[in-house]
Chains A and B, each alone.
Chain A
Amino acid sequence: MSTATPQPREATGDEKKSRPKRRRSTAEQMASQQRSISVSEFFSKNRHLLGFDNPRKALLTTVKEAVDNSLDACEEAGIPPEIWVHIEGTSKERFKIGIQDNGPGIVKKQIPLIFGKLLYGSKFHRLRMSRGQQGIGISAAGMYGQLTTGKPIKIVSKTSPRKAAHYFEIQIDTKVNTPEILNNKGNGVDIPAGDEGKNYIKDHGIEWETHYPGQEGESPKPLKSGTRVTIELEGIYKRGKGSVDEYLEQTAIANPHVTIHFLDPDGNETHYFRSTDQLPPEAKEIKPHPYGVELGRLVTMLKEFKGGTLSQFLTTSFSRVSAAVARRICDQAKLSSRARTKRIGREEADTLYRAIQETKIQNPTTDCIAPIGEELLLEGLRHVLPGEFYAAATRPPSVYRGNPFQIEVALAYGGTNTAQKISYDVLERLLEESDARTLKQFLVVTFDGMGPDGAEKIIREGKFSTRQSPSKLKAKDRQRLFEAMRNVNLSEGQGMSVLRYANRVPLQFKQRDCAITQTLSGMNWRSYGLSQSRGSLPNGPVIVMVHVASVWVPFTSESKEAIAAYPEIEKELRLALQTVGRKLGMFLRRRHSIRQEGERRSIFLRYLGEVASALHAINGVDRDEIYENLLRVAKRKTAEADTKLDEKGRKLDPDTVYGENVLIVEEDQESLEKELLQRSKSRTPDPNENTTEE
């Protein structure tokens, strides 16, 4: 319309002109409104960018930031991390969150800055694999608490058993992004070591764990050092997907060297104990690789470089740039390698940038990445998730945009649910010993991986009432329950669940936007024996755990919830997933053929008796004798078919079939039943047991 009818438009313009003119604002007036925005102000208005979009997520993000920081600190100091997570409801939708670690502690001067200033930290300026990246998280959590409850963030930190612990209550001045210390006239309190300090802690109601929880018969060991941060905030505590419980559980899977003590608002204690004392290898810090540096950054680096020549600048600021490489870059850019960096202007920087991209430079060293390792991946997954088949694969490190990264994948396949394997007698005993109030609760609590959906299905199948008490079931009802448990297909419609990790931190949100999920659903899983509709995740009782480790994990946003889809990363993901997929395919095919073999044998056995009787009638041969003879042949025949053959018909040794890093859990009826009974007896808090609901 606009191009076709220019006439009327002009006419309206004339009309407007005829109106009395009013100046809306002058440049001067506008200037009075213009001022700088502090980071803290910006984020307090845009809290969703940091993961504080809603009360439930705010609670999780706070726990997550604190735990991630603690783990980073412990690992850097070489201490096997032990983390206490306490969530306490203070009033409706208000929680006090306390997180303590046994890390190295923080020196007094740094405490206010770390917790009370946004974008302050050690991790941003160096390229090193760590959980935190920007130094924004924990202070943002404090700021969120301050915004919603007005309560300051409280920090206790102790660097050595003999030195005093520092206690601070801090608020952030959001206008200028600086910490404001509230206690002891802005100086913080030093709590001396020893009894005097103990009394002070008691008198002032400061929360502080002094000892490790002791093993039975041992006196608890005192905590040498550590940091505790307490934040009170508005939030919602809810279990399930995207919860603190899930985060801690997933953290425990990917960090088998960590012990976590979790006290939830209902007073339940959950403990995840480390399965190894060995810390992951120390992540090395690397200099940036020239390919990963953008033009603006290059200009800044040039400006910051104190003196020296261009060649010196290139060789000292970047990794993988030798004098020869530096000369090649300079030649490409038609700049003198002996040019002073100060003299390099914008134009030259631009040519230099382009020259870098055009010069062939070796990939950065990749030993700066510390993967979890296939063995620990398998162990971790098995520890938490029951299954029949586990496989893991760690890819060799690779590089995207000059940043080294490494992909690790582990997969668990858990065929039938334990509920379908137990015998009627065991079910009866389980029912007797259970103190669950409803049948649904009984099913969910007793059987791993059943979930409320599965329990509902069983209850519907058996036509029980929703509030049926398990202890009041009559023998007939029990039989019906048993039948229902057998008949319901629990794995039906069950999709693949994906555990995503970036630098050992679980990613719980924005699954669809993540390169990991996209790669998973883009692959063809049908060839690995799983059903899958086009472009979505495959179906089946499968759990896949994917870990992206990098010195700089490319997230799609600051809230660190999804990994950006760089082609290099997607390729490595695909390769790793294909490795475990192939192994799963082999397992499923083999299981299928073993099942077929069993059917085969049973078919032969079914007819042998008839054949033996017929022969007896024909020539009077002894029926049992001929039956035995035929049976022997049948066994030999099917045993022959039992020997594993690969697709090309070669014989395979079962040990070498799958290659390395595969774990197959043989089903053992007896031990399974024993374990279930054991568990139902000790449902009440048991420190060695994971009692969280899934």
Chain B
Amino acid sequence: MAKRARKKKVAPIRRAADAPVKLTDKDKKTLKSIVGMGDRVVKIAGLSRAPHLDIPSRSLSNVKFNKSKRFIEMGKGTNKRELFNLSQAKSYMQTMLVASGCKQLIEQGKSTSIRGMYYLLKHTIEGTKEETFNEQSECDPVIEDVEVSLNALREELHVYASNRGSIVGNLVFDDSGDEIDCSRMGSGGYTIPSICEPDIIQFKKCEADFILHVEKDTVWRRFNEDKFWRTHNCILTHGGGQPPRGVRRLLHRMHHELELPVYCLLDNDPWGYYIYSVIKQGSINLAYESRRMAIPGAKFMGLRSKDYDRCELTPSVTIKLSDQDIKRAKQIASYPWFKDKKPWQKEIQTMLKNGFKLEVEALISKDISYVTEQYVPDRLEDRDFLD
């Protein structure tokens, strides 16, 4: 995830260091489950048995596509993580460390980013030259493991993901007590916080008709500079590639609470397809969060495989599909939530037949503002979306 996240974010509720921390009911519940996890280990060890953790499996094999709810749900499969197993001993130890770190945060009423958590727990193991965590990338999945095994949300553990993604548009909300008017955000937009739960963000006023989510910053800037959101009365967001939880949660809330349709403008490549899939159905990795994040009503606006002909693009703006792209495309086509959708199968087949992919930026070759003045308005007019 984010490599350059802020080290420590100011805790949502500031308190004097020595004042007794007032725990919310949620915090009490989370603490109880953390202690429960520890108690089980102590009990097992007391019986001279080898302790292990059952961690819900976060893999494709353990997710189910719920057809009626139209998003991915996590199955019941778990992975055993044993202390006395050579390949798992270290991650077992790391899991216990993360649990103890979360407990510490909750008790002190503070919160930190995932990178902060990494630094909080990183130290040299006594008597060795080995570090508890060598890199943040070792720590992040363990935090997710703890989330799923305690059935607690990340913010309930007082841990934040990085802030990424921006928002502008005709929307006013409160963020931790500060009123934010998203129509007055200049050229940079408002950075979407990683936690967008109702206790932090409350919508105040919304006049927009729809949400346009674009993949990356470059395209987003184009739209913002051209004041597309003003002319078309919409909310404009981007997620910096694969959208982080904060962006997905905010989109989800805006879609449901403000009843705004979500249109996605993404690259025409397997990666773009997957981003759409994550927004719409939820991700495999965070299947347990789908309930709060998936937007089954989201629509895919483009780029489409047929746009090469439709927009009369030149071969020089195409990028050849790599072997990995082809493999990934086939994999995506076989996902249950794409499998039964004929238009999608056709879309993917066309891309494979083309043998190249198209980035949204390719449209700039037509004209700098082609995408804002021609492409998107045309699609909106035709209501030409993939579902």
Contact = CB atoms under 8 A, between A and B. Distances in A.
B93 A607 contact: yes
A600 interface: yes
Interface in B1-57: 34-35, 37-39, 41-42, 45-46, 48-51
Contact of A632 (B48, B86, B92, B103): B48
A634 B126 CA distance: 18
Contacts of A615: 38, 41-42, 96, 100
B223 to A, nearest CB: 48
Contacts of A652: none
B132 A610 contact: yes
B84 A637 contact: yes
A636 to B, nearest CB: 7
Contact of B38 (A606, A610, A618, A633): A618
A620 to B, nearest CB: 9
Interface string B306-345: 0000000000000000000000000000000000000000
Contacts of B49: 633
Nearest to B97: A614
A451 B83 CA distance: 47
Interface in B123-169: 125-128, 130, 132
A626 B104 CA distance: 20
A607 B103 CA distance: 20
Contact of B125 (A609, A629, A636): A609
Nearest to B82: A637
Nearest to B35: A619
A621 interface: yes
A657 interface: no
A619 B92 CA distance: 17
Interface string A625-659: 01001101110110000000000000000000000
Contact of A611 (B39, B46, B92): B92
Interface in A560-596: none
B125 A606 contact: yes
Contact of B96 (A600, A611, A633): A611
B64 interface: no
A632 B84 CA distance: 12
A614 B35 CA distance: 11
A147 B96 CA distance: 89
A618 B103 contact: yes
Contact of A619 (B38, B86, B90): B38
Contacts of A610: 93, 96-97, 125-126, 132
Residue picked from A600, A604, A632, most chain B C-beta under 10 Å: A604
A606 B126 CA distance: 8
Contact of B90 (A607, A609, A626): A607
A607 B89 contact: yes
B340 to A, nearest CB: 46
A49 interface: no
Contact of B45 (A600, A604, A626): A626
Contacts of B37: 618
Nearest to A638: B84
Given A618-B96, A619-B42, A611 B83 contact: yes
Interface residues of B, number: 32
B106 to A, nearest CB: 11
Contacts of B89: 603-604, 607
B126 to A, nearest CB: 5
A634 B45 CA distance: 10
Residue picked from B45, B49, B99, most chain A C-beta under 10 Å: B45
A617 B100 contact: yes
A630 to B, nearest CB: 5
Nearest to B103: A618
Given A604-B83, A618-B100, A619-B39, A633 B126 contact: no
Nearest to A628: B45
Interface string B211-240: 000000000000000000000000000000
B50 A633 contact: yes
B63 to A, nearest CB: 30
A614 B99 contact: yes
A630 B45 CA distance: 6
Interface in A63-99: none
Contact of B128 (A606, A614, A618): A606
A186 B369 CA distance: 129
Contacts of B38: 614-615, 618-619, 621
A606 B45 contact: no
B83 A629 contact: no
Contacts of B99: 614, 618
Contacts of B100: 613-615, 617-618
Residue picked from A603, A618, A621, most chain B C-beta under 10 Å: A618
Nearest to A634: B84
A606 B49 CA distance: 19
A611 B52 CA distance: 12
A681 B83 CA distance: 53
Contacts of A614: 38, 93, 96-97, 99-100
A30 B324 CA distance: 91
A609 B124 CA distance: 12
Contacts of B90: 603, 607
A593 to B, nearest CB: 13
Interface string B55-95: 00000000000000000000000000001101001101100
Contact of A621 (B42, B86, B97): B42
B84 A604 contact: yes
Contacts of B126: 609-610
Interface string A438-482: 000000000000000000000000000000000000000000000
A301 B49 CA distance: 83
Nearest to B49: A633
Given A603-B89, A618-B35, A634-B84, 5 more contacts: A615-B38, A615-B100, A621-B38, A626-B42, A626-B45
Nearest 3 pairs of A and B residues by beta carbon: A618-B38, A614-B96, A617-B100
21 contacts: A603-B89, A604-B83, A606-B127, A607-B89, A607-B92, A607-B93, A607-B125, A609-B126, A610-B93, A610-B96, A610-B132, A611-B92, A611-B93, A613-B100, A614-B38, A614-B96, A615-B100, A618-B96, A630-B83, A632-B48, A633-B49
Interface of A: 600, 603-604, 606-607, 609-611, 613-615, 617-619, 621, 626, 629-630, 632-634, 636-637
